[in-house]
Amino acid sequence: MKVAFLLAPEGVEQIELTDPWQAAADAGHTLRLVSTRPGRVQAFHHLDKADTFGVDQVVADARVDEYGALVLPGGVANPDALRTDEKAVAFARGFFDAGKPVAAICHAPWTLVEADVLRGRTLTSWPSLRTDIRNAGGRWVDEQVTVCRGGPSTLVTSRRPDDLKAFCEAFLDEFAAYADRAGSAGS
């Protein structure tokens, strides 16, 4: 299945990109790094610059129907920038509208708050997002990983890098279940 990883041009927490990316690649998914600008994305190890990663597609040119699932890595600056970009927010919302699975870790649910897709959903995140999630109509819980199957789209969320193993296992299970239901690895 083709999976979009949506990132701002800088500010993603590197391990929250690389671990899910590697897990999805190892599971046989086709991966594309989608960003708001072409070129390279600057990742960080908390506040220190880390590696850069090449952008495969600009979100303005991306269509939800090209992908089977979406991954939203965290870092503080990454989702904060994405939630101010109308095309990025619309792209994320489109996965919910299409009933496709979405995985978000750490601060990434900020983008989903802006997309107005959390109403009635149970999720987790970095603890400082608790009030934002509640104000957006979601139910925040402090758990390693949460899978919310409410509505047509499944949402997998996790709190922090320490939860990456459980996060990757959970979203890979949900992506596989979606691919089985969709009957096609390409949708």
What is the Cα–Cα distance from 105 to 75, expressed in whole angstroms? 9
Residue 172 in tokens: 């890979």
Cβ partners under 8 Å of residue 84, min gap 6: 114
Residues with active-site annotation: 107
Contact 117, 133 (CB under 8 A): no
Contact 36, 58 (CB under 8 A): yes
What is the Cα–Cα distance from 107 to 112, expressed in whole angstroms? 10
What is the Cα–Cα distance from 151 to 148, expressed in whole angstroms? 9
Dihedral over alpha carbons 120, 78, 100, 25 (to 10 degrees): -140
Burial of 161 (0-12, 13-18, 19+ CB in 10 A): middle
